[in-house]
Amino acid sequence: MGQNNTGAYATINGINMYYEVHGEGTPLVLIHGGGSSIYTSFGTLLPMLAKHYKVIAMDLQAHGHSGDRDAPESFEQDAEDVIGLLQYLDIRNAHFMGFSNGGNTVMMVAHKKPALVNKLVVISAFYKRDGMVPGFFEGMGKATLEVMPKQLQDHYLQINNDPKGLQNMFEKDRNRMATFTDWSDAILQSIQAQTLVVTADRDVMTPEHTVQMSRLIPNSQLMILPGTHGSFIGEVCSIVEGSKMPELFVEMVREFLG
């Protein structure tokens, strides 16, 4: 999960936004999950993907190396920040891959800016509250920092050494989920890009919900893999030692992206 010297910052919509660029070829934008950053979500996949694509990865508002604004987090704002960074980098069209909350963000990018999105990989995302496993939102409403996986806490503190910043990120992430209101079907129906919708069979959203999403997105394919939230991408909290699933997943994605 090491860092390297490819990181840089850009001022986007008033925040200092951190990003990295790896590899060359067709641009592929990676969007991390809640409480995460580039390497906690994509530390396993990024080196594999960078052999084939120009991978652009970033830390979203209040996450990782990026700054915060005096406003709640929202998927709409995250999408605007992603769009703004790509404009800054003069990238007019790219593939997008988002994991967990990042999956919601890339769907919102495709909804707001269809011309920017070539193909879309949506991993373990949701669009309605009842798509999550029973008890998810009840737990979220009263969650405290102690329930945040230690790997995510440690990674944040390794980057920032700022316990108040960690608490702030946790509260903003929690509040975004606790106050989430269902998206209309029309948002998913508006996505024009070819989309690969992916989930695990024991994920935090139900397989049935993911099937429903894949039926709403007009030009989509569906993949349900064995595992838990993030395990098949080698996410830091659920990585399985010695598993070939991340390599298999990358090959499937490469075939989809063509």
Quick check: 26 and 54 in contact, CB under 8 A? yes
Per-residue pLDDT of the chain (258 residues; tens, 9 = 90+): 334 457 999 999 999 999 999 999 999 999 999 999 999 999 999 999 999 999 999 999 999 999 999 999 999 999 999 999 999 999 999 999 999 999 999 999 999 999 999 999 999 999 999 999 999 988 887 899 999 999 999 999 999 999 999 999 999 999 999 999 999 999 999 999 999 999 999 999 999 999 999 999 999 999 999 999 999 999 999 999 999 999 999 999 999 999
- When divided into structural domains, the chain yields a total of 1
Within 58-199, residue ranges assigned H as helices are 75-88, 101-112, 136-141, 150-160, 163-178, 185-189
Helix 163-178 to helix 150-160 angle (10° resolution) is: 130
Is 2 contained in some domain?
no
Range(s) of the domain holding residue 26: 7-257
Is 244 contained in some domain?
yes
- pTM for the full model? 0.97
Using CA atoms, how far residue 98 sits from 5, 70, 194, in Å, is 23, 25, 14
CATH code: domain of residue 91: 3.40.50.1820
Q: Which tokens go with 34? A: 């809640």
